[in-house]
Amino acid sequence: MNTYDAIVVGSGISGGWAAKELCEAGLKTLVLERGRDVVHIKDYPTATLAPWEFSHRLRMPEKFIKENPLITEAAGFDESTQHFFIKDNDHPYVQEKPFEWIRGYQVGGKSLIWGRACPRWSKYEFTAPARYGYGIEWPIGYNDIAPWYSHVEQFAGICGNRDGLEAMPDGDYLPPFEFNCVEKDLQKKISSKYKDRFMIQGRWAQLTEAKEIHAKQGRAQCQSRDLCMRGCPFGGYFSSNSSTLPWAASTGNLTVRPFSVVHSIIYDEKKNKAVGVRIIDSNTHETTDYFSRIIFMNASALNTNLILLNSKSNRFPNGLGNDNGLLGKYICHQNYRGSVGGNIDGFLDSYYYGRKPAESMMANFRNLKKQDMDFVGGYMAFMGCFRRRGATTDGPEIGEDYKKALSEAGSWGCYMYMQGETIPKESNRVYLSKDKTDQWGIPLLVTDVAYDHNDELLLKDFLEQASETLSNGGVKDIEQYDNHWAPGRDIHEMGGCRMGKDPKTSLLNGWNQLHECKNVFVTDGACMTSTANQSPSILYMALTARAAGYAVSEMKKQNL
Alpha-carbon torsion, ordered 546, 552, 556, 558, to 10 deg? 90
Q: Is 550 exposed, middle or buried (0-12, 13-18, 19+ CB in 10 A)?
A: middle
d(CA 293, CA 198) in angstroms, rounded, equals: 47
Helix then strand then coil, in percent of the chain rounded to 5, is: 25, 25, 50
d(CA 120, CA 203) in angstroms, rounded, equals: 9
Nearest to 237 by CA among 381, 113, 399: 113
Q: What is the pLDDT of residue 394?
A: 66
Ordered per-residue pLDDT tens for the chain, 560 residues: 799 999 999 999 999 999 999 999 999 999 999 999 999 999 999 999 999 999 999 999 999 999 999 999 999 999 999 999 999 999 999 999 999 999 999 999 999 999 999 999 999 999 999 999 999 999 999 999 999 999 999 999 999 999 999 999 999 999 999 999 999 999 999 999 999 999 999 999 999 999 999 999 999 999 999 999 999 999 999 999 999 999 999 999 999 999 999 999 999 999 999 999 999 999 999 999 999 999 999 999 999 999 999 999 999 999 999 999 999 999 999 999 999 999 999 999 988 888 999 999 999 999 999 999 999 999 999 999 999 876 555 667 788 877 777 777 889 999 999 999 999 999 999 999 999 999 999 999 999 999 999 999 999 999 999 999 999 999 999 999 999 999 999 999 999 999 999 999 999 999 999 999 999 999 999 999 999 999 999 999 999 999 999 999 999 999 99
Could you tell me if 385 and 341 are in contact, meaning their C-beta atoms sit under 8 angstroms apart? no
Q: What is the pTM of this model?
A: 0.97
Domain carrying residue 151: 6-556
Q: Which helix (H) or strand (E) holds 512?
A: none
345, part of any domain? yes
Q: What is the CATH number of the domain that holds 285?
A: 3.50.50.60
> How far is residue 266 from each of residues 6, 189, 255, 310, measured CA to CA in Å?
14, 59, 20, 10
Buried-state track 256-278, b at ≥16 Cβ within 10 A, e below 16: bbbbbbbbbbbbeeeeebbbbbb
Could you tell me if 377 and 128 are in contact, meaning their C-beta atoms sit under 8 angstroms apart? yes
1, part of any domain? no
Q: Is 150 exposed, middle or buried (0-12, 13-18, 19+ CB in 10 A)?
A: middle
Q: How many domains does the chain have?
A: 1
Alpha-carbon torsion, ordered 236, 239, 242, 246, to 10 deg? 150
Q: What is the pLDDT of residue 391?
A: 59
d(CA 327, CA 324) in angstroms, rounded, equals: 8
Q: What is the pLDDT of residue 353?
A: 82
Could you tell me if 225 and 379 are in contact, meaning their C-beta atoms sit under 8 angstroms apart? no
Nearest to 545 by CA among 244, 117, 203, 212: 244
182, part of any domain? yes
280, part of any domain? yes
d(CA 543, CA 434) in angstroms, rounded, equals: 33
